[in-house]
Amino acid sequence: MKGLAYYLSPVGELLIKSENEKIITLAFLKDSKQEEILSPVIEQCKSELEEYFSGHRKFFSFEMDLWGTDFQIKVWNELVNIPFGKTISYEALAIRVGNIKSIRAVGLANGQNPIAIVVPCHRVIGKGGELVGYGGGLDKKIWLLQHEGAMQKQLSIF
């Protein structure tokens, strides 16, 4: 069964898609809306997003199905290991996936993450601490990092 829903978050409206009771897409809405088809996993996703945005959730527990190349999935699975309120560099992420020379490929995979916020690509920053790139826009990346307390920690080291 396929599901489709929308969630109005503090960083904009989000599109949620599910298939076989697993979330396959959580993205910033860019197109016009279609009729919603709710499913239990979508309801769980919306509930957990509500808890995250209200400051009561740091981890998500609904099931996801990441669709991509083996390399993309490896990168996305590593993103999930970045703790709430922490950031890492693209270089550190490349090292974690096993090849420091893959920084550009890691950046591309990061940018193609199909499940925003939950697979926290917003927690990846430039080596010097600069906030580079985010599919939803840097304003959203900054908001998410501030919400998680990562911006205050990062600014305190300068």
First to last CA, the chain: 50
**Buried b / exposed e along 111-135 (16+ C-beta atoms within 10 A):** eebbbbbbbbbbbbbeeeeebebbb
45 among known catalytic residues: no
Nearest-Å Rg of the Cα atoms of the chain is 15
| DSSP-assigned letter for residue 57 | -
How many Å apart are CA 157 and CA 152, to the nearest integer? 9
Residues 126 and 89 sit within 8 Å (Cβ to Cβ): yes
Q: Which is the catalytic residue, given 121, 124, 145, 151?
A: 121
Q: What is the DSSP string of 106-154?
A: HHHHHHT-SBTTTS-GGGEE-TTS-----TT-HHHHHHHHHHTTHHHHH
Give the residue numbers annotated as catalytic, written as ranges: 121
